[in-house]
Amino acid sequence: MTNKKGFDRTESAEINEKTYNELIQVRREKLKDLKQTGVNPFGQRFEFTHRAKQLLDNYEDYEDKEVSLAGRMMAKRGHGKAGFANVQDGTAQVQIYSRLNDLGEEQYEIYKGLDIGDIVGVRGTLFKTRMGEVTVAVKELTLLAKSLRPLPEKWHGLKDVDLRYRQRYLDLIVNPEVKDTFVIRSKIVRAIRNFLVHRGFLEVETPMMHPIAGGAAARPFTTHHNALDMDLFLRIAPELYLKRLIVGGFDKVFEINRNFRNEGISTRHNPEFTMLELYQAYADYNDMMDITEGLIASVAEDVFGEANINYQGQEINLNSPWERLPMLEAVKRYSGLDFEVLTNADTAGNAVKKLGLEVEKSDGWGDILNKVFEEKVEPNLIQPTFITDYPVEISPLAKKKEDQPQLTYRFELFINGWEMANAFSELNDPLDQRERFSRQLDKRKSGDDEAHMMDEDYITALEYGMPPTGGLGIGVDRLIMLLTDSPSIRDVILFPLMRPRV
RNA sequence: GGGCCAUUAGCUCAGUUGGCUAGAGCACCUGACUUUUAAUCAGGGUGUCCCAGGUUCGAGUCCUGGAUGGCUCACCA
């Protein structure tokens, strides 16, 4: 502010300053004072000997020894010529005790001027107070970064969910359980990787920008490449690229990465979400059930030490084996309708209308079956359940069953009523695949903009020959919600999509 | 997109049937206090009551429209 040459910047800064509220202005004044006394409010690298959690957990090892640590000041209690404060680093909070006698006039003045939120480095000896709290008696204090804005309230934390998502860094600073959730998220993803790598799967990365959005029924985001003057889609699934790799001779591959779907937002849907997909040559959907069961139970064991979990008050037992229930049987069990008798779209449609469900003219037998399933069966599938043998109309990439060609070797896994995984014996007949894509194109023409596009390049790959293959997709965010007992997908995504603030 | 709900100080929240100059705690400022811990004690209120209209002598409060968010339904994993 004293720089005469920077006239414009100085002036606008001063105008801005007037609009800041008092709390921010006070901190800016302190910043100015610090600079004037020759203290750099935004310091350099600080070498510390310990992290807070180490000191708390192993107090006996460090008692009366000199330690140093760095972190953010989260609370401050003054006592005249001495004071306590809490410093929070990446591991925990530890108390520090600063006395005028130990620090000297100059440093103690700096300490007194510190605000909650400031980032400091301290060096001193470790002791326990009368009340038994592990504390660093500070000998030397270094300001590493001045904080110019007040933190949210110390006792209630930050509750406004809008602010929590938009300013996740504040959420992480003041709500410790949020940090825990994301640490667990990282552990879960690592456990998945370990599980698969140990079983010989190769992690690969396939394109996120697709000329044709395929591998799922969903509306894509569109974008544009300028140099090629080409429209592209953000991927809705990596499936077709991973199967090209199976054609190419990678027998076991997986990818954990983002998919993008241009659809509604809810507590279980974010436009970008993390998907695990894996493919294993010479395997089928039964093998995929074994892998799914093993993977989820083992991840829970790895991260929590047990496979019994509680989600929002609901006990869920992830120990294998899980029920494997053909869709036709599931529908019979929960709706009373027998689709082995209702063998065409008309009779099935009439029966379903009696249940109060709406049927479109374009719906085939399989679409109608699926509607009944979603409406009557899904909400009942709380404990892990594999629903097997999906109708061919809604499974354009799955191999038909040899004995029941209206069905496919496909399953979905349901836990807590949610679809958690989707898998099938992959369709490797290029002629059948072309036929399926054509049916999807018909659906597109009749207004279904989630139906599959024709992918000639993928069919060409199949024409070179793809071994019989089992493929599996698991919604990683939902798995994490379940395992961390989080009610909203936004609680397990660091920066969920939000409308920008005006 | 539909329905319901919310929006008041930096944060967490009160605010009655429409009625004085809009409140509390934390945070912040001044002073006291050298083992406190939601430190304490004395003093200080820092505000576009989400926005724009309207009704009224008078609106944080009632009405209309809008913004943002939450829940929920629809679509989807």
For the stretch A189-232, pLDDT in tens is 999 999 999 999 999 999 999 999 999 989 899 999 999 999 99
- Is residue A175's pLDDT more than 80? yes
For the stretch A119-171, pLDDT in tens is 999 999 999 999 999 999 999 999 999 999 999 988 888 988 888 998 999 99
A146, A328, A333, A348, A413 from A338: Cα distances, Å:
70, 7, 9, 9, 22
Nearest protein residue to nucleotide B28, judged by CA and C1' positions: A23
Provide the pLDDT for residue A448.
82
Residue A127's H or E segment, with its range, is strand A119-128
Task: Enter the tokens of residue A426.
Answer: 């992959």
Chain-centroid distance of CA A132 in Å reads 39
A26 touches strand B (CB under 7 A): yes
A362 touches strand B (CB under 7 A): no
Length A81 CA → B32 C1' (Å) = 11
Is the CB of residue A291 less than 8 Å from the CB of residue A254?
no
A478 touches strand B (CB under 7 A): yes
d(CA A451, CA A449): 5
A117, A438, A442 from A393: Cα distances, Å:
58, 12, 12
- Is residue A22's pLDDT more than 90? no
A78 touches strand B (CB under 7 A): yes
Supply the mean pLDDT for chain A. 91
The ipTM estimated for the assembled molecules is: 0.88
Provide the pLDDT for residue A155.
85
d(CA A239, CA A473): 9
Q: Lowest mean pLDDT: which of A269-278, A320-329, A346-355?
A: A346-355
Provide the pLDDT for residue A502.
57
Helix-helix angle A100-113:A22-36, to 10 degrees:
130
Q: First-to-last CA distance in chain A?
A: 29
Collapse the DSSP code of A317 into the 3-class scheme (helix H, G, I; strand E, B; otherwise coil) and give the result: strand
> Which pTM does this prediction carry?
0.91
A132: CB partners within 8 A, 6+ apart: none
A269 touches strand B (CB under 7 A): yes
A154 touches strand B (CB under 7 A): yes
For the stretch A411-454, pLDDT in tens is 999 999 999 999 999 999 999 999 999 999 988 888 788 889 99
- Is residue A1's pLDDT more than 50? no
- The secondary structure of A442-470 as a DSSP string is HHHHTT-TTSPPP-HHHHHHHHT----EE
- Is residue A56's pLDDT more than 50? yes
Name the pLDDT band for A18 (thresholds 50, 70, 90).
Answer: very low
Using the CA of A165, which nucleotide's C1' is the nearest one? B69
Question: What share of chain A in percent tops pLDDT 90?
Answer: 76
**Long-range pairs, A137-141, Cβ under 8 A, ≥24:** A137/A96, A137/A97, A137/A99, A137/A102, A138/A96, A138/A97, A138/A98, A138/A99, A138/A102, A138/A103, A138/A111, A139/A66, A139/A102, A139/A103, A140/A103, A140/A107, A141/A98, A141/A103, A141/A107, A141/A110, A141/A111
d(CA A302, CA A233): 37
Is the CB of residue A171 less than 8 Å from the CB of residue A182?
no
d(CA A410, CA A423): 6
Name the pLDDT band for A375 (thresholds 50, 70, 90).
Answer: confident
A396 touches strand B (CB under 7 A): no
Length A266 CA → B63 C1' (Å) = 32
A326 touches strand B (CB under 7 A): no
- Is residue A6's pLDDT more than 80? no
A239: CB partners within 8 A, 6+ apart: A214, A215, A216, A277, A397, A471, A473
Nearest protein residue to nucleotide B76, judged by CA and C1' positions: A263
Name the pLDDT band for A501 (thresholds 50, 70, 90).
Answer: low
Provide the pLDDT for residue A10.
32
Asked whether the bond before A384 is cis by omega within 30 degrees of 0, the reply is: no
- Is residue A337's pLDDT more than 50? yes
Q: Position A342: which residue type?
A: L
Is the CB of residue A262 less than 8 Å from the CB of residue A220?
yes
Q: Flag residues 332-361 of A with CB < 7 Å from strand B.
A: none
Length A147 CA → B10 C1' (Å) = 13
| Strand extents, DSSP E, A251-319 | 252-260, 272-281, 308-311, 314-317
Q: Which nucleotides of B are covered by protein (CB under 7 A)?
A: 1, 9-13, 25-29, 32-40, 46-47, 67-77
Pair type for strands A202-203 and A252-260: parallel
Name the pLDDT band for A17 (thresholds 50, 70, 90).
Answer: very low
Provide the pLDDT for residue A156.
87
For the stretch A273-328, pLDDT in tens is 999 999 999 999 999 999 999 999 999 999 999 999 999 888 999 998 999 999 99
Provide the pLDDT for residue A65.
96
Closest-CA residue to A192 (of A500, A406, A484, A474): A474
